[in-house]
């Protein structure tokens, strides 16, 4: 986005360019974190990138951000709101609780991707077998089946906090088994 | 137990943030603290990305695989939930149509050009309006112009892997001096200035260099490199796993000038690498660069080339080694 060139054209346009410049700066600085947040909530990098684009388009469509104390906080708030809407729409379209599109590793664009997925899957399976039953159960219900913490808490008669604790333990363990740096 | 800053401690912290951010409404304070954590150490963002990759893998795996995990680890719930396949297929169709509509922004016959770009160190997956899947490498830019009769894509810089949706309209990629026409295909294009490398993984493509009458067909398992200095296209077999290895954090080079290698490495490097002496750029390099460990690759260069490395906070300089 170019900065205003200083010629005394319509002041309105200049200030819009300032605004666009600020949005572009926000984009540069926070794009990585914004996509990471959205991917975490949507389970899809492609969807995350799409929603991130929408956030910027909406910011650009505003006249200015002068009334916003923290544009960064505003950016992330907007992204979480859009992700909530998006998950709801995805659920409405399917007429059911959010269910991912049918994945098919065999038709992954890259053979390497397919091999990677199969390999990681096996590692996850092995990692889950090393965990206490409650921990792996909470994990698969949340991450594989997509149920929220509250529903799992009712099902397992635990507090939501404990469910979250089990899920993050299992996740950290899977990450160790799948990605930990190999010892030299 | 865990040493702070250890790989395991980072994984635990990342997993804790990951589950917090999946709460329906994470507070502004949670988001701000998470970002501070991300900024504190580059390994934090990397660990978080890995969890995202695992989350996406588990949630979007083929249904039978997911069922298998649920049956083993949460047997009761698995019995309670089995969605009919037809319903899932219908949902996918709706999504595909919405994608088509969104991509064309309702513009009728002539679609506006769609521009896509990625930042340094960021790979992006793109779905073009016809369903063609594009994996865009870091610091890359492409524009798609779809008309009634043809699908034109311009790769302005960087690298992209195309899995082209088959249809009547021809699919053509322009990468500076080289035109690549799809003939039922998946292929990778890497553009480094006017130097272009094409690797075909499925089907065939037709290559036509600008200003030359000749055309060349390239088949699966082959790669071609366009050298702007000689204007020559050289064809060679594609080693297994080389095409688009960049998606697995590997940049593969076979006999390429160091200048081109550095330009590609810089698409992934937090600290750009500069050549103090242009003659160094003429050295030929064959090998693999892991884009997650660029610093150690740079550190090892003096073992294979007569160069010395000077590291600065925001860039790295390679200069001729003095004897």
Query: Strand, helix or coil at B62?
Result: coil
Which position has the token pair 């830019």? B141
Tens digit of each residue's pLDDT (9 = 90 or more) over B64-99: 888 889 988 988 643 344 444 444 444 444 444 433
pLDDT on residue B252: 87
Percent of chain A with pLDDT over 90: 32
Assess whether A131 and A84 both reside in one domain.
no
Average pLDDT, stretch A27-47? 90
Closest chain B CA to residue A152: B77
Sign of CA dihedral B95, B96, B97, B103: positive
pLDDT on residue A92: 58
Assess whether A26 and A64 both reside in one domain.
yes
CB contact under 8 A, A40 and B28: no
State which of A80, A107, A134 marks the end of a domain.
A107
Assess whether A135 and A161 both reside in one domain.
yes
Assess whether A51 and A124 both reside in one domain.
no
Assess whether A160 and A76 both reside in one domain.
no
Assess whether A18 and A49 both reside in one domain.
yes
Between A28, A144, A175, which is nearest B70 by CB?
Answer: A144
Closest chain A CA to residue B51: A175
Q: At what angle do helices A71-94 and A45-61 cross, to 10 degrees?
A: 130
Q: Which chain A residues are within 8 Å of B103, Cβ to Cβ?
A: none
Contacts 24+ apart (CB under 8 A), B77-82: B77/A141, B77/A145, B77/A147, B77/A155, B78/A145, B81/A145
Between B35, B92, B186, which is nearest A101 by CB?
Answer: B92
B45: contact with A, CB 8 A cutoff? yes
Assess whether A9 and A97 both reside in one domain.
yes
pLDDT over threshold 60, residue B299:
yes
DSSP state of A52: H
Q: Which chain A residues are within 8 Å of B57, Cβ to Cβ?
A: 117, 120-121, 124
Q: Is B108 exposed, middle or buried (0-12, 13-18, 19+ CB in 10 A)?
A: exposed
Averaged confidence pLDDT in chain B: 83
Complex-level ipTM? 0.85
Closest chain B CA to residue A30: B35
Q: Which chain B residues are within 8 Å of A95, Cβ to Cβ?
A: 87
User: Quick check: pTM over 0.90?
Assistant: no
Task: Quote the CA–CA distance of B130 and B104 in Å, as a whole number.
Answer: 10
pLDDT on residue B14: 96
Tens digit of each residue's pLDDT (9 = 90 or more) over A123-147: 999 999 999 999 999 999 999 988 8
How many structural domains compose chain A?
2
Assess whether A49 and A65 both reside in one domain.
yes
Assess whether A130 and A99 both reside in one domain.
no
Assess whether A101 and A160 both reside in one domain.
no
DSSP state of B105: T
State which of A81, A107, A133 marks the end of a domain.
A107
Residue among A58, A54, A60, A48 nearest A24 (CA): A60
Task: Quote the CA–CA distance of B34 and B21 in Å, as a whole number.
Answer: 9
Q: What is the CATH number of the domain that holds A135?
A: 1.10.10.10
Assess whether A121 and A173 both reside in one domain.
yes
Q: Which chain A residues are within 8 Å of B14, Cβ to Cβ?
A: 172, 175
Tens digit of each residue's pLDDT (9 = 90 or more) over B123-165: 888 899 888 999 999 888 899 998 888 899 999 889 999 999 9
Q: Which domain holds residue A146?
A: 109-184
Assess whether A61 and A14 both reside in one domain.
yes
State which of A92, A107, A122 marks the end of a domain.
A107
CB contact under 8 A, A140 and B47: no
């Amino acid at each position: 986005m170019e900065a205003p060139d200083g010629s005394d054209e319509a002041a309105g346009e200049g200030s819009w360019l300032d605004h666009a410049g600020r949005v572009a700066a926000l984009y540069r600085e926070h794009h990585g974190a914004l996509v990471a947040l959205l991917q975490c909530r949507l389970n899809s990098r492609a969807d995350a990138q799409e929603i991130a684009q929408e956030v910027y388009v909406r910011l650009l469509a505003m006249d200015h951000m002068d009334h916003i104390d923290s544009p960064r906080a505003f950016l992330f708030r907007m992204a979480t709101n859009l992700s909530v809407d998006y998950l709801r729409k995805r659920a409405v379209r399917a007429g059911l609780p959010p269910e991912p599109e049918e994945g098919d590793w065999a038709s992954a664009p890259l053979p390497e991707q397919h091999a990677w997925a199969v390999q990681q899957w096996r590692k996850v399976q092995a990692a889950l077998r090393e965990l206490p039953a409650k921990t792996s159960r909470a994990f698969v219900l949340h991450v594989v089946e997509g149920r929220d913490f509250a529903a799992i808490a009712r099902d397992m008669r635990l507090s939501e906090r404990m469910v979250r604790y089990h899920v993050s333990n299992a996740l950290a363990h899977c990450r160790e088994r799948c990605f930990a740096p190999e010892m030299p | 137990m865990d040493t702070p800053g250890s790989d395991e401690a980072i994984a635990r912290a990342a997993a804790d943030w990951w589950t917090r951010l999946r709460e329906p409404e994470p507070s502004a304070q949670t988001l701000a603290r998470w970002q501070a954590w991300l900024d504190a150490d580059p390994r934090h963002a990397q660990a978080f990305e890995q969890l995202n990759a695992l989350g996406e893998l588990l949630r979007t795996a083929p249904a039978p695989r997911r069922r298998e995990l649920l049956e083993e680890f949460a047997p009761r719930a698995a019995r309670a939930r089995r969605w009919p396949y037809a319903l899932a297929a219908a949902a996918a169709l709706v999504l595909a149509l919405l994608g088509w509509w969104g991509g064309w922004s309702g513009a009728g016959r002539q679609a506006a050009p769609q521009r896509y770009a990625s930042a340094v160190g960021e790979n992006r997956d793109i779905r073009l309006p016809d369903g063609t899947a594009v994996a865009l490498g870091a610091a890359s830019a492409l524009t798609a112009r779809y008309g009634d009769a043809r699908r034109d894509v311009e790769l302005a810089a960087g690298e992209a892997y195309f899995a082209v949706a088959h249809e009547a309209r021809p699919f053509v990629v322009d990468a500076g001096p080289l035109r690549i026409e799809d003939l039922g295909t998946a292929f990778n294009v890497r553009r480094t200035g006017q130097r272009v490398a094409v690797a075909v993984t499925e089907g065939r493509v037709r290559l036509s260099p600008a200003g030359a009458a000749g055309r060349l067909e390239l088949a699966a398992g082959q790669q071609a490199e366009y050298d702007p200095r000689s204007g020559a296209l050289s064809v060679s077999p594609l080693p297994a796993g080389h095409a688009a290895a960049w998606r697995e954090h590997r940049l593969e080079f076979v006999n390429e000038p160091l200048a081109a290698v550095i330009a590609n490495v810089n698409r992934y490097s937090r600290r750009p690498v500069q050549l103090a002496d242009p003659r160094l750029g003429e050295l030929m390099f064959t090998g693999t660069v892991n884009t997650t460990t660029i610093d150690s690759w740079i550190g090892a260069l003096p073992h294979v080339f007569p160069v010395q490395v000077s590291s600065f906070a925001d860039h790295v300089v390679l200069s001729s080694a003095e004897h």
